[in-house]
Structures are given as structure tokens and as C-alpha cells.
A = this chain, B = another copy of it.
Amino acid sequence: MSLRKEILEVSRSMLIEKGFGKMSMRKIAAAANVSATSIYLHFKNKDELLLALMEDSIAQLAEALSNSINGNGDALYKLETLADTFLRFALERPQEYEIIYMVRPEEMPKFPKDKFQHIRKVYEMLADIIEEGRQQGQLDVDDPLVSAYTLWAQLHGIVSVILSRRLDTRIARDKFIEQAKDQIIQGFITQKTPV
């Protein structure tokens, strides 16, 4: 196996086991039985390594999302399913979620296109679903792509509050998630205001 791959593997498992904060170049190197400087032969710096991990996690999340909607159901159902899958992914694999959405490689180049192809595809898939729902009069949105990002941002907000331990201890986590999900979805549904 190439050293590059090995570095990626050990850093990923280190990330998952110990969390992002305890990942250091030297520890990664030690785990791969190699000197710390060797990492720099394969990655420009720590941020680039992080981006590579990110790319991979994004691909996995994108796949989980794609798989969860296997064609059947109407737009609304699909939206709910996607929201569920997203929340489950985030809460079951918090460390991986973290590097996708919470870690900030310093001065992260604004959306380096190539690295974010996968997640862009997800947004576009989502936008398509929203558009479908709009045409069927089920959803009430303005710009579908913007709506896709909005939905995602809202879900991220929910996850973020939980993962960063900012949720009031008086509130049960599951109840919070359920209610939040309902409320978010409801924001997309066409209002049937009686004339």
C-alpha cells in the first residue's frame, strides 16, 4: 500500500477514535511507522491532509444520502428521508461529520471546486427534488438551489448545537431532533391559506 494511503487511513482512524483535537502530524507519523517529515512528501501541510480526509468523508456522506432515496416516494417523502439520513450520519459518526462541517482549515480557499464536487452533486440532487415538489404544488419555495442550501444549513444547525454540547440539559435530545425536523420540513410546505 502506498504511504499516502496509509497516512490517510491512520489519520482517519485516529480522528474517529481520539477526535480531531488530538490528531498531530507526529502521532500520525508514528502510527504509520515513519518520520513526521515524510507526511510532507505526500501532503503540502496539515490543512491539505485535512482536506483529503474531508473529501473522503464527504464522498461517504454523499453516498449515504444518494442510497437512502431509492427512487420511490414523492418529493416530500424524499426530503424527509434525506433529512433523516443526514441526521443519523452526523450523530452516529460525529468525528467524521466534524471534519466535513466544523473543522476550518485556516483560510480555507472558498470552496475549491474539485474537492467539493461530491457535495455539490448532493445539493443539486436536493434542488431537483425540491423543484419536483414545487411543480407538484407540494412545496413552496423560491429558488430551489438556495432552498437546498437552506435545508442543509438548518439541519447542520441542529446537529451543531448537539455536537458542540450547547443544548439545554432540560431538553431531551431525541425530542429536540424530532421537533426540529418537523419544523424544518414544515418551512418548505405550501401554505394552504384560505381566501
Contacts and interface: CB of A to CB of B under 8 A. Distances in A.
A169 B111 contact: yes
A150 B180 contact: yes
Contact of A145 (B101, B110, B160, B170): B170
Interface centre among A149, A185, A188 (most CB of B within 10 A): A149
Interface in A29-57: none
A91 interface: no
B146 A175 contact: yes
Contact of A108 (B120, B165, B183): B165
How many copies of the shown chain assemble into the complex? 2
A168 B101 contact: no
Contacts of A191: 186, 189, 191-192
Interface centre among A102, A108, A176, A192 (most CB of B within 10 A): A176
Interface residues of A, number: 51
Contacts of A171: 145-146, 149
Interface string A152-188: 1111111011001111111100011001100111111
A22 to B, nearest CB: 9
Given A106-B21, A187-B183, A149 B164 contact: no
A156 B161 contact: yes
A70 interface: no
Given A149-B176, A171-B145, A160 B160 contact: yes
Contacts of A21: 106
A146 B110 contact: no
A193 interface: yes
Nearest to A151: B183
A143 B161 CA distance: 18
Q: What 5 pairs across the A-B complex have the smallest Cβ distances? A: A157-B157, A187-B187, A153-B157, A183-B187, A153-B161
